[in-house]
Structure 1
Amino acid sequence: MIRIAVLTPDPADPSYRGQWPGVLERLTQALAAADVQVDPTPWTEHAKEASGLQSYPMILPVLVWGYHRAHPLWLEACDTWRAADLPLANPASVLGWNSDKRYLARLAQRGVTLPATRWVDRATPEVVAEVFGQTGAEQLVVKPTVSGGAWRTLRLSPGQAMTDPPTGSAMIQPYLPSIEIEGETSLLFFGGRFSHAVNKRPVGGDFRIQVQFGGQYARVQPDAAALTLADRVLSSIDEPLLYARIDMARDGDEWTLMEAELIEPDFYLGHDPSAGAGFAQAVRERLDV
């Protein structure tokens, strides 16, 4: 049995303590069926020095939940792992740039459809009011460019005060009403192959689709347009990816990219008909090269 490392959250961060062990268990079971054994280890233990990871033929950073709250250390870790030429999947370069949502602007330059987005150094009330005036939107979503799990993400109406707003660079988008009606859809790819798709809907009145906010998840079959958008996103990324989760929502009749999750996405293996066999196959193929 081949042993690989899976990077897990900072033990000092309690935010996801009730969630990530279950995700790890599903990954462990899927990989065990492919004769791969998982050694979980906190990413923060290897941020400044890589020797503790150098014996592994593969390192999966798929459970580094909460890195956005220690982003400078995360970027330092990515530099450490890249300099040590560790066999990370996905690559350390991807782990760096994908941690800041400004990568979405680069994908847009390559033809990927996004919601109309204003990128700002700081989301002040004056800037938000200006965007309301420019877009005519009934509501706006304001979120940090370095974030996760809807952290410090706000849905605002004109004149509404911002409570616990982003403190650094931020992105401002018109709120898509389809989020409440149709939800957000995630397409999962392993080894470049489509695996499964999951629709995520918020509870009534909310806009956050994460399970910790009561989001309801169900497996769906994506239409051709959704697959086309996902393929366009993946073809716009230069580095080789072992896995990707492409999150999208409808803006009118058109699918638009919300996120390309390439660091630590939940693969929703509980909704995968093959229970992660496709992911395990992609891991084995990479290991056997």
Structure 2
Amino acid sequence: MTEIAVLTPAPSDPSYAGQWPGVLERLSEALATSGLTAVPTPWTDHVGDAAGLMRFPLVLPLIAWGYHRDHDRWMQACETWAAAGLRMLNPPSVLAWNSDKSYLGLLAEQGVAIPDTVWIDSPTQDHADAAFDRFGTDRIVVKPRVSGGAYRTLRLARGEAMQGAPEGPAMIQPYLPTIESEGETSLLFFGGKLSHVVNKRPVPGEFRVQVQYGGGYAALAEPPAGALALAEQTLAAIGEDLLYARIDMAPDAHGGWLLMEAELIEPDFYLSSAPEGGKRFAKAVRARL
């Protein structure tokens, strides 16, 4: 068996303590089908020195959750790993730029459809109030640019006070009611090839689809009409040699697809909903070795 490293959260971070071990178990079982042994190690142990990772033929940052709450150290770590020539996939340069959602604006400049977005250095109530009129809507979403798992993401109605707003750079978008009725759809790519598709829906009254908020996941036999075209357009615009990518999207009110996120750092592959995807990922990893 070939040992490869899998980056995990810091042991002192309780946020994912009950979740990431299960993700690691599913990932480890999948990798084992291709003769690979996953060796977990906290990403926070390798911020200033990559020596502890150099013995591995490959490092996967797949469970490096929590970087959004320690972003300065994350960026330092990416520099450390890149300078050391660490064999990491996806590569450290991608891990750095993909950690700030301002990349969505760059993709939009290349023609990728995203929700209408206002980029704010530090959101205030005035910014939120102005966004309602700009978008012509009665509900908006305020998100930090550096985030994960809907961290400090707010849904506001017109006239509602903005409490618990993100600190620092943020983005404001019109709320998509289709999230409640049709959910968010994720297309998983391994080695540049589509592996599987998962639809995620919030519980009634909620808008966040993550499992920690009660979201339900279901594998789809094939991508909905038009979804694959947007995913492929997104990957082409990114233009990176990626081992894995999760492209999250949602439909607008007219049935067109909008890119919500291109998750290239530590995406959940949803192997509990699509276990066959694990073997496809393992084969893509083995091919890189």
Bucket of the pairwise TM-score, normalised by the shorter protein: over 0.9
CA distance in 2, matches of 1:133, 1:194: 39
Residue aligning to 2:45: 45
Q: Deviations over 1:178-197 (max 9, x none)?
A: 00000100000000110111
> Are positions 1:78 and 2:105 aligned together?
no
CA distance in 2, matches of 1:133, 1:229: 28
Q: CA deviation at 1:273?
A: 4.8
Residue aligning to 1:249: 250
User: TM-score scaled by structure 2?
Assistant: 0.98
> Are positions 1:233 and 2:230 aligned together?
no
CA distance in 2, matches of 1:199, 1:274: 16
For 1:265, the aligned partner's letter is: P
Q: CA deviation at 1:239?
A: 2.1
CA distance in 2, matches of 1:178, 1:216: 15
Aligned length: 287
CA distance in 2, matches of 1:261, 1:137: 28
Q: Deviations over 1:199-228 (max 9, x none)?
A: 110000110000000001101121241000
**SS, match of residue 200 in structure 1:** strand
Mapped contact 2:196–2:277 kept (Cα < 8 A): no
For 2:165, the aligned partner's letter is: P
Q: Deviations over 1:50-107 (max 9, x none)?
A: 1001111100000011110000000000000010010110010000000000000011
Residue aligning to 2:127: 127
Match of 1:259 among 254, 257, 261: 261
Residue aligning to 1:55: 55
Q: CA deviation at 1:134?
A: 1.6
CA distance in 2, matches of 1:140, 1:248: 17
Q: Following superposition of structure 1 onto structure 2, how do residues 268-283 of structure 1 map, counting pairs within 5 Å?
A: 268-283=270-285
User: TM-score scaled by structure 1?
Assistant: 0.98
Q: Following superposition of structure 1 onto structure 2, how do residues 53-202 of structure 1 map, counting pairs within 5 Å?
A: 53-202=53-202
**Moved >6 Å (runs of 4+):** none
CA distance in 2, matches of 1:148, 1:255: 22
Q: CA deviation at 1:275?
A: 4.7
CA distance in 2, matches of 1:96, 1:62: 14
Q: Deviations over 1:244-286 (max 9, x none)?
A: 0000000121010000000000000112251501100000000
Mapped contact 2:6–2:38 kept (Cα < 8 A): yes
Root mean square deviation of aligned Cα: 0.8
**SS, match of residue 284 in structure 2:** helix
Mapped contact 1:119–1:171 kept (Cα < 8 A): yes
Q: CA deviation at 1:238?
A: 2.4
**SS, match of residue 234 in structure 1:** helix
Structure 1: give runs of 5+ residues left out of the alignment. none
CA distance in 1, matches of 2:276, 2:129: 48
Mapped contact 1:91–1:239 kept (Cα < 8 A): no
> Are positions 1:285 and 2:268 aligned together?
no
Mapped contact 2:145–2:170 kept (Cα < 8 A): yes
CA distance in 2, matches of 1:67, 1:134: 32
CA distance in 2, matches of 1:44, 1:180: 36
CA distance in 1, matches of 2:180, 2:239: 34
Mapped contact 2:195–2:277 kept (Cα < 8 A): no
